[in-house]
Amino acid sequence: MHKRRKFSSGCFLRGKFYVIGGRNEYNEHLTCGERYDEETNSWTLIPDMLGSMTFMPSQSPPLIAVANNNLYSLEAYSNELRVYDVNANSWKKLGVAPVISNVGFGWGVAFKSIGNRLLLIGNSSPHSSCATMRAFTCRRPSPDVEELVWEELNTNYGNVQFDHFIRNCCVMFA
């Protein structure tokens, strides 16, 4: 890779492996990304891949998910959902997320893909005394829409109480 980084995120997109954001050895936020091509066994630096995003001092790694061969991001600072245009190296805003990501600087939120759907789990209130975990899915995410449409999942599990902070989230299906 061209840049040393920690607290970055990675994903497979259109046959290539992307590493996005993170911090350098001086703990400064990196706005660049990198793309690995297995056929050429080489990394390509993508300058300012996150240049339009705002970072907070103790922010989580970038919240990203790939669905329908498109890269989506939940920007923790503004609580906005975005989709990446690979050809233009730019992000299109797709509205505000139905959960609160900016209170915990992106920590405690799960933003994942399930096949061609997006999954979002997080706190629904900015006040910790009213914290309620809610889960949403977007069945047909597309870069062509002005705003993503989210459906709330039924999370009523009887007397089970969920913490208002997600520590780890992995999605697997067969």
**Structure-token pair, residue 2:** 């061209």
Q: Is the pLDDT of residue 114 over 80?
A: yes
Instruction: Provide the terminal-to-terminal Cα distance of the chain, rounded to the nearest Å.
Output: 33
> Which of 110, 132, 127, 128 lies closest to 119 in space, CA to CA?
110
Out of 36-40, 82-86, 145-149, least confident range: 145-149
The structure tokens 């066994």 sit at 41
Average pLDDT over residues 113-124: 87
| The predicted structure's pLDDT at residue 173 | 57
Predicted confidence at residue 171, as pLDDT, reads 62
Burial class (CB in 10 A: 0-12, 13-18, 19+), 125: middle
Ranking 62-66, 73-77, 126-130, 138-142 by mean pLDDT, the lowest is 126-130
CA distance 110 to 137: 11
Query: Is the per-residue pLDDT at 1 higher than 80?
Result: yes
Q: What is the pLDDT of residue 54?
A: 84
**Domains of the chain as residue ranges with CATH:** 9-152 (2.120.10.80)
